[in-house]
Amino acid sequence: MDKIDLAFTLDESMRPVDGRLTFDGEGVITVRENGERTRSLSAKDAKEAQVLGGVGCALILLTYENAPDIALARFDMSRLKAAGEWCKIVNHAIETGKPAFDDAIEPEVCEKCGKTLPEGMRVCPFCFSKTGLLKRVWSLMKPFRREAIISEAFIALSGVIYLSVPVLNRVLIDNYLAPRLGTAAQIMLLAGFMFLARAIGEVIFVLSSRVYARVGTLFSNHLRDLAYAKIQKLSMTALGRRTPGELIRRVMEDTVTIKDFLTDYGRWMVDMGLMFIASMVILALTNWRLTLLVFAPIPIVVVALYRFRSMIHIRYERQWRKNSRAQSILHDIIKGIRTVKSFGAEDREIAKFAGVSKDLAQVMTNNETMWALLFPAVTFFSGIGEFMVLYIGGKWILGGSLSLGVLVQFTMFLGYIYQPLRWLVSFPRMLADAMTSLVKMFEILDEEADIQETALSKDADVSGGVDYQSVSFGYKSYEPVLKEVSFTIEPGEMIGIVGKSGAGKSTLINLMLRLYDPNTGRITLSGEDLRAVSPRLLHEKAGVVFQDTFLFAGTIYDNILYAKPDATAAEVIAACVAANAHDFIMKSADGYDTLIGESGYSLSGGERQRLAIARAIIKHPRLLILDEATSSLDLETESIIQDSLNNLTRKRTTIAIAHRLSTLRAANRLIVLDKGRIAEMGDHMQLLRRKGIYYKLVMAQRQTNKAAG
């Protein structure tokens, strides 16, 4: 991409316009209105681009040091966020002279239909191709197609068998009962055939339903596995765009919605269609004039469904969003319940959830109210034909132009005709719900991972050094966190990373773990470009202790074993001894089999941190990354565990971040980051003698320790 576009909606006179701002790699801004270029100007001499908000609208202003400011475009508030991102890209180019077009501006509205996109989605749920989605579903059903087709065939067969009952009933009435010519044996024989047809149809239907239910469950499980596997492979950037509650809903609830649609409506679609066509043919061959009366109300039903289909879809997409929002809040509140209670915010959180729950209830009530009005009305009109058949058919019987058996056959077939119509009335509702879930499911499955593992990905040799070569990175490339960072870590060397909050320390190690790839520059490991290294194999060989320790619900033993599933009990104990965790574990109720709650809330912060260190130690990593590994330890415990860390880091390539600068005195070198750049580099004493940023950090920390003492 060598340019970035932004749509705007108002001209200088505040009239609606189809406008577009384009910023290209030459630093030129082009303004187009209704497809016509109105002006072009260079941004190189500008000071900055900024968004000025107004009442109901806003504008983008290009400001200069020694020249009048220029209003580039006006737009409604739906484009506000996108306009802000566009200005950041322009300002980055003005500041650095290097346009960054790697990151597309997240769209807020669909350019095709103009509707607001649901939060966290790039795909418009209103403009997708339903046919295309169903084709993709069919392709995903490949492992289950054979059973599904067989089940559909047997359901259709049972339907055809059912259709023989009204025909036999007509024969019984017209040939044996009405003329009173039949014998008891003949009547018994025909009744037996009808009973047998019914029984065989029911048996076939039950068996096919069981097969189809199995197919639906297996397919739902297949979709769930695909979605979960894809989420595991998504980058941190992609995951950050969505809430945990939304991701959980896509994996668990959307797959169930899709399964219900396939099992409850997908299979009936074929059955109802065949029943409808077969019934129509039989009735038309029996009496075509009476058949016309049966189908008289069908155009009313079709037109009504067509008129309401888009409204139904919008309503159920809105219900999905409200439900997702409620689940996200519920997930966050439960996960952070200790924080909620610590701040006495229970009532506040109750009120927050009650608010979103009320919104969801209102949307659901509106949808059900609309459906309660629509469904009976359409059902009533679809039944008009039944009254017409009884009235006209009755007159024809009295006039002698129609037999009683034919009328009875028609009335019995009315169920087979109008049941598909009544089913069709509720179909758009289920279709809208299922299509919304399918769009969101396929959006996850189609999202490209930022971190690619190609067929040429290599195993990670972590015995060598690490080299950062002019590395720049931003979670959005036009908002760099690290800027032209270069340094080398020799094999077995320990490097300490220090700096103020937001300086880019954690970002530095995130790049080392290949959770992200640099925007520019490169990182090499043992002389190999990190982009050529398999992230999975790299993570298997690196040991990591993060600042925010995460422990899984389960036993202490299982949490240590998580890093190395094939480790022996002796290895687990040795790792815990090295991390100074063995003593407190043995004092626990069940020792290593002690159950800890989710995130390890039953343990103290220091205990959780030591378990995290033990989990890193058990891998015997050649590359060790410590992100505030002793941040949750008291001074006494820190001094004890520091010896373990010193033993752990010996002869291992280590990158360590710490706010307690005393923990980094053993580092071979210290790198001081400031505003994303390397400000200072050297050992502890060298940096103290410089009396720069590091010196000020040390002095400030000493003053804090004195005040605390």
pLDDT digits (tens, 9 = 90+) for 216-226: 888 888 888 88
**pLDDT > 70: what percent of the chain?**
84
Place of tokens 């229970």: 346
CB 285 within 8 A of CB 409: no
Determine the length of the chain.
709
Structure tokens given for 198: 């019914």
Structure confidence at residue 469 (pLDDT) = 92
Q: What is the DSSP letter of 447?
A: P
| Nearby residues of 276 by Cβ (< 8 Å), 6 or more positions away | 416, 417, 420
Sequence-distant (6+) residues with CB within 8 A of 15 are: none
| More confident position, 41 or 602 | 41
Task: Please tell me which residue, 66 or 336, carries the higher pLDDT value.
Answer: 66
Indicate if the pLDDT at residue 106 is higher than 70.
no
Asked if pLDDT for residue 373 goes beyond 60, the answer is yes
Instruction: Report, as an integer, the average pLDDT of 570-588.
Output: 87
pLDDT at residue number 111: 63
The DSSP symbol for 109 reads: B
Closest CA to 198 of 162, 156, 157: 162
The mean pLDDT value for 131-151 works out to 82
Q: Which of 413, 380, 408 is nearest to 394 (CA)?
A: 408
Residue with token string 């079709």: 302
Burial of 265 (0-12, 13-18, 19+ CB in 10 A): middle
Task: Provide the β-strand partners of residue 457.
Answer: none
Looking at residue 114, its pLDDT comes to 59
- Long-range pairs for 630-634 at CB < 8 Å and ≥24 separation? 630/658, 630/660, 630/663, 631/547, 631/658, 631/659, 631/660, 632/549, 632/604, 632/605, 632/606, 632/608, 633/605, 633/606, 633/609, 634/606
Q: Which burial class, exposed, middle or buried, applies to 656 when counting CB atoms under 10 A from its CB (0-12, 13-18, 19+)?
A: buried
Q: What is the mean pLDDT of residues 189-216?
A: 83
Cα of 66 vs its chain's centroid, Å: 48
* Alpha carbon 179 to its chain's center: 69
Residue range 535-548: average pLDDT? 80
pLDDT at 104 over 60: no
Residue 659: per-residue pLDDT: 72
Task: Say how far apart CA 127 and CA 118 lie, in whole Å.
Answer: 13
User: What are 22's two structure tokens?
Assistant: 């384009």
Query: Smallest Cα–Cα separation from 430: which of 316, 584, 304, 555?
Result: 316
For 366-416, the three-class secondary structure string (H helix, E strand, C coil) is: HHHHHHHHHHHHHHHHHCHHHHHHHHHHHHHHHHCCCCHHHHHHHHHHHHH
CA-CA distance, 564 to 82, in Å (whole number)? 45
Query: What's the one-letter identity of residue 429?
Result: R
Q: Has residue 386 got a pLDDT over 80?
A: no
E strand segments, 443-594: 466-473, 482-489, 494-499, 520-525, 528-529, 542-545, 554-555
User: What is residue 455's predicted lDDT score, i.e. its pLDDT?
Assistant: 56
Position 60 scores a pLDDT of 85
Coarse DSSP helix, strand, coil percentages of the chain, rounded to the nearest 5 percent: 60, 15, 25
Say what the pLDDT of residue 600 is: 65
Answer yes or no: is pLDDT of 208 > 60.
yes
**pLDDT surpassing 70 at residue 370:** yes
Query: How confident is the model over 236-247, as a mean pLDDT?
Result: 73
- What's the confidence (pLDDT) of residue 212? 80
Q: Does residue 66 surpass a pLDDT of 60?
A: yes
Q: Domains in the chain, ordered, with CATH?
A: 3-96 (2.30.29), 130-446 (1.20.1560.10), 466-708 (3.40.50.300)
491, 464 Cβ separation under 8 angstroms: yes
- Is 382 buried (19+), middle (13-18) or exposed (0-12) by CB count in 10 A? buried
Whole-prediction pTM value? 0.67
pLDDT digits (tens, 9 = 90+) for 269-316: 777 777 788 888 888 888 888 888 877 777 777 777 677 666 666 777
CB 318 within 8 A of CB 125: no
More confident site: 197 or 373: 197
Structure tokens at 25: 């790699």
Mean pLDDT estimate for the chain: 79
pLDDT for the residue numbered 554: 84
Tens of pLDDT, residues 589-601: 888 888 887 666 6
* Rounded mean pLDDT, 34-61: 81
Which of 105-119, 171-185, 340-354, 662-676 has the weakest average pLDDT? 105-119
**Rounded Cα distance, 522 and 539, in Å:** 18
Structure tokens at 293: 């009366």
Q: What angle do CA 122, 128, 133 make, to 5 degrees?
A: 110
Q: pLDDT tier at 338 (50, 70, 90 boundaries)?
A: low
The alpha carbons of the chain give a radius of gyration, in whole angstroms, of 35
Identify the pLDDT of residue 486.
92
What is the pLDDT at residue 226? 87
Local confidence band at 350 (pLDDT 50, 70, 90 cut-offs): confident
User: At 581, which amino acid appears?
Assistant: A
Task: Record the tokens describing residue 634, joined without a space.
Answer: 């008291």
Residues 388-408 pLDDT 10s: 888 888 888 888 888 888 888
Contact 17, 83 (CB under 8 A): no
Return the pLDDT at 643. 67
Model pLDDT for residues 629-662, shown as the tens digit of each residue:
666 566 666 666 666 667 667 778 888 887 777 6
Return the structure tokens found at 195: 């009973």
* Average pLDDT rounded to a whole number, residues 514-526: 86
Work out the average pLDDT over 153-166.
82
Question: What is the structure's pLDDT at 439?
Answer: 81
Name the more confident of 576 and 701: 576
Per residue in 435-459, pLDDT (tens digit) is 778 888 888 888 776 676 665 566 6
